[in-house]
Amino acid sequence: MYLLKELKKQINEKIQEATGKTPGFNHFSEPPSPDLGDLSTNIAFQTKSKNPRPIANKIKEIGLVKKTETKGPYINVFIDWKEFSEKVLDQVINKERNYGKRKEKNEEVLVEYSQPNTHKAFHIGHLRNTALGESLSRILEFNGFNVVRLNYINDMGAHVAKTLWALQEFHENDKPPESKGKWLGKIYAEACKKEKKNKNEVSELMKKLEKHDPEITDLWKKTRSWSIKEFEEIYDELDADFDKWYFESDIKQDARNIVQELLDEKIAEKDEGAVIVDNKPKGVNLIQRSDGTILYSTSELALAKKKFKDFDPDRNIYVVGSEQKFHFQMLFETLKKMGFENADKCFHLAYELVRLKSGKMSSRKGKAILYEDFAEKTREKALEAVKEKNPELENKKEVVEEVALGAMKYEMLHVNSNKTIVFDWKKALDFEGQSAPYIQYAYARCKSILKKSCKEPSVGRLNKGKELLKKISEFPEIAEDAADSYSPHVIAVYAYDLAEEFNSFYSDVHVIGNEEEKELLALVEATSTVLHNALNLLAIETMEEM
């Protein structure tokens, strides 16, 4: 039982007794001032009750409700915070890391995310995708879903042919550097600049690749392994662990079979040598080029069938950039035309790009911020920030690593996925602003207080820390909302708000030596628990000393 949500349920029961109507939860709000109460409801307006007083009197019957006041159509509810504090702290401390966690559901969700292409470098756009997908997976698991993490790698597209062509044409005798994935990314950018004059050569190489020409296949396998090794190292850093990897090369033949099936069933048609599925009025899905090669979109059809055969999930969430919205519209429409009964279980969670100050990133133009460079620079700046904050820190190396990773992830997660990110290192590593280090430092401060005190935390009624306690009590609802809306930014913003509320409490209340020290220590311990839970849902580590 989570107290704030349970209290709202009890209020709804009293409203039903008074009005005969069953309300939802959208009538609750927070009053603009604490003087006006702790919860507010406009249910009298929604139910067209001219006199809200009978409803208010019913709500007042609830044990945790101290009093009610009516203001026009609004009913303001004042909570008995002493009793509330004891119950909330008891729940948090007894449940510890499980506070806010929902019971297991009999529902499996596939979350497909990251999806970098081999033969291209991993950049910060992939970082946003990976951070978003991993956080969403953790949030769904926390809310009781059985989550299967998937990664679909395009290792056989036109970009591969371009890279292999440029590698043979201009770098055949070059010795690969240590960062082979980064090197391939540079070769790909070079190929995009030069292939316009050599389109026929690239096209021929693509055909050889699809027909498994021995020489090209050997080169493809070798270079592909370089990319996959780089991806695995990055995922290890980011604490992203996939249950299954799919590769386009493994489902290429299935995709070719689907093209013929759709032609045979009159779902697809030939158009100037190409094969299309006409999804009027929404658009046209190109599934085979006029030269006979198939597309990434065709492989997606085969992959969808394979995933649902392998796992039989209740939902399938694709975490993919918003520039692919049309692609997924066509994919889902085509699946419906194919009679794919699970088409309605597929959902595209779109996110916007990460931009440079100079504009949009582009792998083709070589303007992308590569993850390897980005992470290294973030570590350098994190070291500067940590040295400034605590020059005597002993475990500096470990702290710098977690501060840097936390900063990168938080910047990717604290804004809504439908908004573009312009990354700012100064903001990301600010110990005083909305950032991961700020939240991590609040957690470390909690642990420091608990360590310095000679007393054990004791759950009891509090006279202080009401706003902090209120914020703690909101966490289960916040976690549920984040899962329902597929929105990790809801958790990220909440974590910052909780850290800010704790720091305000810390500046106003001296815990050690206070006459309520044991009870206040329980509040501090509860804060650290919820901060840990929230950051864990963002895949960000906490540290006891910073």
pLDDT tens-place string over residues 292-306: 888 888 999 999 999
CA angle 174, 195, 247 (to 5 degrees): 75
Query: What percentage of the chain has pLDDT greater than the value 90?
Result: 71
| Full-model pTM | 0.92
Closest CA to 287 of 309, 254, 316, 245: 254
The angle, 0 to 180 degrees and rounded to 10, between the axes of the packed helices 436-452 and 396-413 is: 130
What span, in angstroms and rounded, lies between the C-alpha atoms of 66 and 68? 7
- Report DSSP state, residue 197: G
User: Which CATH code for domain 113-355?
Assistant: 3.40.50.620
Tell me the two tokens of residue 521.
Answer: 């220590």
End-to-end CA distance of the chain: 34
**307: its two tokens:** 């995933």
Q: What is the DSSP letter of 178?
A: S
Tokens of 511: 């815990």
Choose between 362 and 413: higher pLDDT.
Answer: 413
In this prediction, residue 95 has a pLDDT band, given cuts at 50, 70 and 90, of confident
**Which pLDDT belongs to residue 357?**
62
Question: Is a pLDDT exceeding 80 seen at residue 74?
Answer: yes
CB 440 within 8 A of CB 535: yes
* Residues 163-201: b if buried by 16+ CB within 10 A, e if exposed: bbbbbebeeeeeeeeebbbbbbbbbbbbbbeebeebeee
For residue 1, pLDDT over 70 is answered with: no
Contact present, 381 and 429 (Cβ < 8 Å): yes
Give the side-chain half-sphere CA count within 13 A for 14: 25
Query: Considering the domain 3-79, what is its CATH architecture?
Result: 2-Layer Sandwich (3.30)
> Can you say whether residue 272 is alpha, beta or left, with left for phi > 0 and alpha for psi between -120 and 50 degrees?
left
Query: Is 168 a residue whose pLDDT tops 70?
Result: yes
pLDDT tens readout for residues 11-41: 999 989 888 888 888 889 988 888 899 999 9
- Angle at which helix 124-142 crosses helix 214-238, to 10 degrees, equals 60
Whole-angstrom Cα distance, residue 297 to residue 318?
14
Give the 3-state secondary structure of residue 152. strand
Domain spans of the chain? 3-79, 113-355, 372-537
Q: Which is higher by pLDDT, 184 or 198?
A: 184
- Yes or no: say if 111 and 314 are a contact pair by the CB < 8 Å rule: no
Confidence of residue 237 (pLDDT cuts 50, 70, 90): very high
pLDDT above 50 for 361: no
Which pair of tokens denotes residue 153? 């790698």
Looking at CATH, the fold of the domain delimited by 372-537 is given as Isoleucyl-tRNA Synthetase; Domain 1 (1.10.730)
